[in-house]
Amino acid sequence: MTAQPSRQPLHVGVLLGDPRLPYPYSVDGHFGEEEIEGARRLGEALAELEGYRFTWFDDHERLIDDLRAAPPDLVLNLCDTGYRNQWELERNIPAFLEMLQIPYTGADPMAISVSTDKALVSMGAERLGIPVPNETFVDLTDNPLVLPASYPALIKPNNSGGSFGISASCVVHDANEAEEYLHWLAGQLQPPEAVIQDFLTGSEFTVGLIGNPADGFTVLPPLEVDYSALPPELPPVLTYGSKADPESAYWNRLTFRQAELDEVTHARLVDGCAKLFRRFGFRDYARIDFRNGADGIPRLLDANTNPTWYHDGKMAMMAGWAGYSYAGMMGLIMEAAVARYGLRTT
């Protein structure tokens, strides 16, 4: 019997934010212990995977030259900080990769652009039959500003990520509070756009999908946000402070648990996620957030392309409930892209 040749490891470029450059999302303006630890734990996880060899790309001053000089077979695009750590340039990373004709994991520039426009996502979801909160788009340069039709209401940026622009004051109870918050947001955002939504007070869930429509999805067990440790005067919302500011009253006050959903609700959420994934052109993995209204119906909050990949993030937590290690989750994401591009034929 003739021995079969062993398959050559796939050369994967791991593309991250640049720790040498300023990082405006952080309160301190630079990469901190969380980001450094995240990269370290990622390296440990990837080292467990067979069939790959990895090269790291995190020097954005040299990024394009380095990729052109030694293009990998696939880029594991984990640069959710954006090119040169500028969040608004997140979509430029996959655009560079496409110009260099290098396959990559995750969303393309169009999907990133569409998914960051919350009003557009809500309109699309509604057309797909997915429940959404009542919502009003606000151009923050208007005078007078559009105000909520009823209270309490939730005000948040139309284009942002990582809960930037969301604080305890985003839940408003009268016109004065609403106008004050809208004026504050106008000085924070570019473009200066916001949305006003019903303030949903029910349980909040997130659903993780790994895969693609053509090959099927691995649906991770849904997660529920536990707000019970918050002081009663603070509204139960995922604020920027809960994710990035140790001085915030929200810091370390929120926990996450596996959601307990009946079969019908679970099936509806998964069906809605699959429809959004297909319609908005998501790729390889995504995380979709919902919250119950007073009627108990889950409504769409947000659709996240390239969601947080950290070892202690929501995707990794849900993958763990499904029986996958952190390394296993990263392997699933890469294999979804490998199948989509047809990179392995033997």
| CATH number, span 10-107 | 3.40.50
Model pTM?
0.93
CA angle 255, 320, 256 (to 5 degrees): 10
The string of DSSP codes covering 273-335 is HHHHHHHTT--EEEEEEEEE-TTS-EEEEEEEES----TTSHHHHHHHHTT--HHHHHHHHHH
Cα atoms in the 13 Å half-sphere on the side-chain side of 152: 14
- Identical topology for domains 10-107 and 113-130+201-341: no
What pLDDT score does 18 carry? 97
Low-confidence stretches of the chain (pLDDT < 50) are 1-5
What pLDDT score does 2 carry? 47
Residues 230/233/238/239 CA torsion (nearest 10 deg): -120
In the sheet where 74-77 sits, what is the strand order?
A: 52-57, 10-15, 74-77
What pLDDT score does 163 carry? 76
User: Which H or E element spans position 63?
Assistant: helix 63-69
71 CB burial (10 A radius; 0-12, 13-18, 19+): middle
The phi and psi torsions of 208 (rounded to 5 degrees) equal: -105, 135
Contact 298, 204 (CB under 8 A): no
- Domain locations along the chain: 10-107, 113-130+201-341, 135-198
- Give the distance from CA 210 to its chain's centroid: 13
Q: Which residues are CB-neighbours of 230 under 8 A, at least 6 positions away?
A: 236, 249, 250, 253, 254
What pLDDT score does 1 carry? 43
What pLDDT score does 100 carry? 97
Instruction: Report domain 113-130+201-341's class.
Output: alpha beta
What pLDDT score does 6 carry? 52
**d(Cα 35, Cα 41) in Å, to the nearest integer?**
10
